[in-house]
């Protein structure tokens, strides 16, 4: 179970990463729209698991591009949250497939 501090930091990271991706996506990921769907932070605040929803391109290819730019993304995140966090968590990116899962369940229920 997440503590209130973990939830607060997760929301902060999600909001700031969303702004970073919105600002830089045209340069780093042309033709793809990326949404930060959820962020989970470990209890020691050292790792943040970031779930992405990708539209417009193959999610696997976009994930590779995101991982290539992970250091720059973390640096920009650090510049934004330097007054709220002492240590910036390591970012790990994952594709959020919950929408595909929901669509599959709905399709199965209609049959």
pLDDT of residue 37: 93
Split into its structural domains, the chain has a count of 1
pLDDT of residue 88: 93
pLDDT of residue 13: 96
The CA distance from 67 to 93, in Å, is: 7
SS3 56: coil
Total-model pTM: 0.85
Domain that holds residue 28: 4-110
pLDDT of residue 10: 95
CA 47, 21, 64, 70 torsion: positive or negative?
A: negative
Segment-wise mean pLDDT, segments of 10 residues, the chain, 111 residues: 89 95 88 91 94 89 92 95 91 87 82 75
User: What are the helix and strand counts (H, E) for the chain?
Assistant: 4, 3
CATH number, residue 90: 3.30.300.20
């Amino acid at each position: 179970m997440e503590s209130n501090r973990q939830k607060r930091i997760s929301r902060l990271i999600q909001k700031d990463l969303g702004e970073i991706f919105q600002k830089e996506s045209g340069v780093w990921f042309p033709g793809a729209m990326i949404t930060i769907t959820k962020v989970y932070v470990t209890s020691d605040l050292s790792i943040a698991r970031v779930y992405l929803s990708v539209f417009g391109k193959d999610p696997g290819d976009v994930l590779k591009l995101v991982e290539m730019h992970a250091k720059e993304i973390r640096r920009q995140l650090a510049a934004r949250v330097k007054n709220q966090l002492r240590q910036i968590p390591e970012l790990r990116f994952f594709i959020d497939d919950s929408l595909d899962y929901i669509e599959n369940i709905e399709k199965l229920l209609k049959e």
